[in-house]
Structure 1
Amino acid sequence: MSYVTPKDFAVRMIDAGQSKVSLSTRDTLIRAYMAGAILALAAAFAVTVSVQTGSPLIGALLFPVGFVMLYLLGFDLLTGVFTLVPLAWIDKRPGVTLGSVLRNWGLVFLGNFAGALTVALLMAIVFTYGFSSEVSQVGQAIGHIGEGRTVGYAEHGFAGMLTLFVRGVLCNWMVSTGVVGAMMSTSLPGKVIAMWMPIMLFFYMGFEHSVVNMFLFPIGLMLGGDFTLGDYLVWNELPTVLGNLVGGLTFVGFVIYATHAKTAPARALRSKARA
């Protein structure tokens, strides 16, 4: 059978976290850079499909292709290491310290951001013919996404910030489920299906993914979106990162670790003597 039981893929999750901590700085940055770039291309693809077909559902159905590609290639997203790497520390794996966990998170953040920013610049060139003509229809749509999901939250004050944070939590609940999905099967089709479903859900529901936003908002600024760099950082990226951390670690990493890797003692079943 290609299906891997929860008890077994829980161990794979911890092993993966330990492996990522032990990576060199060079390898961590390269893998994070490529992950950010591929996910950014997938986001550009999904928005293009949504605009040209008029159906956001079709865009959501196709967006997971980027996520599947980058994980099959062994690249790393910040949302994934938020969930996997701390498990190796909690499990007291050799060489895994809190400092090494934070180092991994920092390097993956930098790599993801650099990759997404590279694609943002390249796609801005595509959408404007090298900044020599009017922004295309797809480019305009991306600019409006940046406005609605920064100043749109700010207009609601604390309620907007809370909504942003909760969308970040829900996002990485689903995205980290997709990360674990790659470990649920030993077959390529099984991995793809298990990853595809939760990623499609998060994208269509409009949840906030910190790495996708590393592409959408910088390119929105390049294309003349009506928001600022400060709006992006304060009213999207930073709260989204925090929400992604809480969502992935709490609802996926901790839960699977607690009930599959470190199960509670089984109850003793007592049969009552019948009179």
Structure 2
Amino acid sequence: MEKIRQLVSAIIAGMLIGIGGTVFLSIENPILGSFFFAIGLYSIICFQLQLFTGRIGYLIFQKPVYFIELGITWIGNLIGTYLLAWMVQHTRLYATISQRVQGIAAIKLGDNFMSIFLLAILCGMLMFIAIDAYRNIEGSTLKALAIFIPVMVFILSGFEHVIANMFYFSLSKAWDGHCFVAILVMTLGNSVGGLILPVYMKLFCIR
């Protein structure tokens, strides 16, 4: 039953990232778009849902069973983003954002894997900062800023977030072998980036 709960939680988290991606695609101004995209992560944290990029940084503090939980989370996030993409494709919204998302997907999939990996590392670092700062900062305003600012930074910088890209690739109907490999590279990059600060803290006994 616990594994089912984790899967459902991860599916909902994937859908929320998809909602954030939808509003980002619907707004011309990139700064506003990146701000409203962050509503997805904010909701996920508030409702304590399962997001792979939010959980990977705590791997080194957990028992081996955490690997299984991360796998369930990754699969659930993929299902959730695909489901949200399918929903959007069957609404009037798709006609207004389809061209933009196809352009975004083409740029990402046209990149080389080394570039994707490095950009994903940087995104992973920012995701850990957002989650951990929210957990440790006092005050509701500062907690919100801890989420929104890192998310805006990774979007405006063009860093690669694997769950967001699951949504973009699903919405643009870009899935193929190359796309799947790119997603795996992003997953690895986000994981490495998400672990940099936790490893530093563990090695030097910070906290």
Name the counterpart of 2:149. 197
Residue 81, structure 1, aligned to residue 55, structure 2: yes
CA drift at 1:213: 0.9
For the Cα contact (< 8 Å) 2:60–2:199, is it kept in 1? Answer: no
C-alpha spacing 1:110/1:126, structure 2 compared with 1 (3 Å): same
For the Cα contact (< 8 Å) 1:127–1:138, is it kept in 2? Answer: no
Q: Counterpart amino acid of 2:198?
A: G
- Given candidates 155, 179, 183, the residue that maps to 1:237 is 183
Aligned 1:141-160 pairs, distance under 5 A: 141-150=100-109, 152-153=110-111, 160=112
Residue 122, structure 1, aligned to residue 87, structure 2: yes
Name the counterpart of 1:176. 128
In the aligned structure 2, how far is the partner of 1:102 from the partner of 1:80? Answer: 14
1:151-192 C-alpha deviation (Å, 9 max, x unpaired): x11xxxxxx211110011011111111011211224322211
Name the counterpart of 1:267. none
- Given candidates 10, 16, 20, the residue that maps to 1:42 is 20
Gaps of 5+ in 2: none
Q: Which of 1 and 2 has greater Rg?
A: 1
**Which SS does the other structure have where 1:35 is aligned?**
helix
C-alpha spacing 1:86/1:28, structure 2 compared with 1 (3 Å): farther
1:103-146 C-alpha deviation (Å, 9 max, x unpaired): 01110011111111110000111147xxxxxx623111111111
**Which SS does the other structure have where 1:208 is aligned?**
coil
Q: When the two structures are superposed, what TM-score results if normalisation uses the length of structure 2?
A: 0.93
State how many pairs are aligned.
207
Q: Could you list the runs of 4 or more consecutive aligned residues of structure 1 that deviate by over 3 angstroms after TM superposition?
A: 259-262
- Given candidates 211, 214, 218, the residue that maps to 2:170 is 218
In the aligned structure 1, how far is the partner of 2:144 from the partner of 2:3? Answer: 29
CA drift at 1:200: 0.8
CA drift at 1:194: 1.3
Name the counterpart of 1:257. 202
For the Cα contact (< 8 Å) 1:168–1:243, is it kept in 2? Answer: yes
Q: Counterpart amino acid of 2:116?
A: L
The percentage of counterpart residues that share the same residue type is 22
For the Cα contact (< 8 Å) 1:184–1:194, is it kept in 2? Answer: no
Deviates more, 1:78-87 or 1:166-175: 78-87
Aligned 1:25-36 pairs, distance under 5 A: 25-36=3-14
Relative to its length, the structure with more helix (as a share) is 2
**Which SS does the other structure have where 2:85 is aligned?**
helix
